[in-house]
């Protein structure tokens, strides 16, 4: 059967878990209720080992197969955290926490991996060990890195690792994947321009930081249009512009701009950081001011490993009949840290015609549950077939 019958039977139960998680979102590393619920479910399923507190509030469950002659260990990862967004879905199970909602479907990811863990604990129809990984703080907190820094990969001898994300606009239950660079590196910059403040009626007596910063905002766009090979991908976005004065008749002493840089190669990432420093220093110096640039490197490029990607696509085809070529994504994904430590792959599962992720009207599509659960279970049973 393309969808495992057991997941069709479990869909209502998994949906109940998912909607409970949706109603009770938690942000970054504050996933205390979510982590406790996950650990409780894993214990109920009969997992062989359950460890909490990995990467602060992450949870790891270990499921042994019927045999372990090959000594293989496969990791399956889901993210648990929500976003600081006020929900506007009007659902009866909408967020009960003002200013927080599951606007990216991590409630669905967690519920689907719990469903797969329940099935794998029941059947154990594989030769090896499964490590189910429930990660906090994907949305900007680097929870994946924290779990790796806690020694997760070596502690459980994880040899390969697989992840999944729902994808609005893609048919429900369908899959898409690509080898190599998939999600972008995501960096941040914070730049303070300083000049000489003064009266707006006497600009000649000032060093105008508003004009200075405005010129820099425009000049930063030349990193993509004039410094980067046109066949490469880069996005430089200034997202905040603040002055040290709130008065209408004062030229401010300081102006601060902030933004992000998205790249798909380390060489372009290095180029962007170099040019941001050079451009801002040059613009400021031309006008008699200074620029203080802070550049923070965030998530690295998420790179799917070729062999594991081909395998993951074959599993997806066995479930949905096809697996499409996924687009490059300029958003970030901290599963990148796990793929830097171990070979593996990350796949998209269709969420149907829904609002986009990170939108206040987004909702995970529960009809995707059987396909997502089946993919995780098939990854295990086909990568580690029963002896």
Q: Which residues are catalytic?
A: 81, 138
Task: Report the alpha-carbon angle 300-305-308, nearest 5.
Answer: 140
HEC states along 17-31?
Answer: HHHHHHHCCCECCCC
Which residues is 134 bridged to in the sheet? 59, 78
In sequence order, which residues have a C-beta less than 8 Å from that of residue 138 and are 6 or more positions away? 79, 81, 106, 144, 333, 334, 335
- What 8-state DSSP symbol labels residue 385? B
Task: Report the alpha-carbon angle 348-341-139, nearest 5.
Answer: 50
Beta strand segments in 65-184, E:
73-79, 129-135, 160-168, 175-177, 180-183
Which residues is 295 bridged to in the sheet? 189
> Minimal CA–CA distance to 349: which of 327, 316, 378, 303?
316
Its sign, for the CA torsion 46, 138, 167, 336, is negative
CB atoms within 10 A of CB 171: 17
């Amino acid at each position: 059967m393309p969808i495992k019958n057991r997941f069709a039977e479990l869909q209502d139960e998994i949906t109940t878990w998912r909607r409970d998680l949706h109603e009770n979102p938690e942000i970054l590393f504050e996933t205390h209720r979510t982590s406790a619920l996950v650990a409780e479910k894993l214990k109920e399923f009969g997992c062989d080992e359950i460890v909490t507190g990995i990467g602060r509030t992450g949870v790891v469950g270990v499921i042994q197969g019927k045999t372990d002659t090959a000594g293989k260990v496969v990791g399956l990862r889901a993210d648990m955290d929500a976003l600081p967004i006020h929900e506007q879905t009007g659902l009866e199970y909408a967020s009960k926490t003002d200013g927080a909602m599951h606007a990216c479907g991590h409630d669905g990811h967690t519920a689907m991996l719990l469903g797969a863990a329940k099935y794998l604990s029941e059947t154990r129809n594989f030769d090896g060990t499964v490590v189910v990984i429930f990660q906090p703080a994907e949305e900007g907190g680097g929870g994946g890195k924290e779990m790796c820094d806690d020694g997760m990969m070596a502690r459980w001898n994880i040899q390969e690792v697989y992840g999944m994300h729902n994808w609005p606009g893609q048919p429900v239950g369908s899959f898409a994947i690509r080898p190599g660079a998939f999600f972008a590196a995501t960096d941040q910059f914070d730049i303070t321009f300083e000049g000489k403040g003064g009266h707006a009626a006497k600009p000649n007596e000032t060093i105008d930081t508003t004009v200075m910063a405005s010129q820099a905002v425009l000049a930063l766009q030349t990193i993509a249009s004039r410094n980067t090979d046109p066949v490469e991908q880069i996005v430089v976005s200034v997202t905040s512009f603040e002055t040290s004065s709130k008065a209408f008749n004062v030229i401010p002493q300081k102006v601060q701009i902030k933004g992000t840089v998205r790249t798909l190669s380390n060489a372009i990432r290095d180029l962007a950081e170099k040019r941001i420093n050079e451009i801002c220093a040059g613009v400021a110096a031309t006008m008699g001011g200074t620029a203080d640039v802070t550049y923070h490197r965030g998530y690295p490029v998420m790179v799917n490993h070729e062999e594991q990607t081909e395998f993951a696509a074959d599993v997806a085809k066995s479930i949905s009949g096809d697996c499409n070529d996924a687009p490059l994504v300029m958003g970030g994904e901290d599963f990148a840290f796990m793929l830097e430590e171990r070979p593996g792959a990350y796949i998209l599962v269709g969420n149907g015609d829904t609002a986009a992720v990170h939108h206040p009207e987004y909702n995970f599509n529960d009809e995707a549950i059987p396909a997502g659960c089946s993919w995780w279970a098939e990854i295990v049973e086909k990568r580690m077939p029963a002896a």
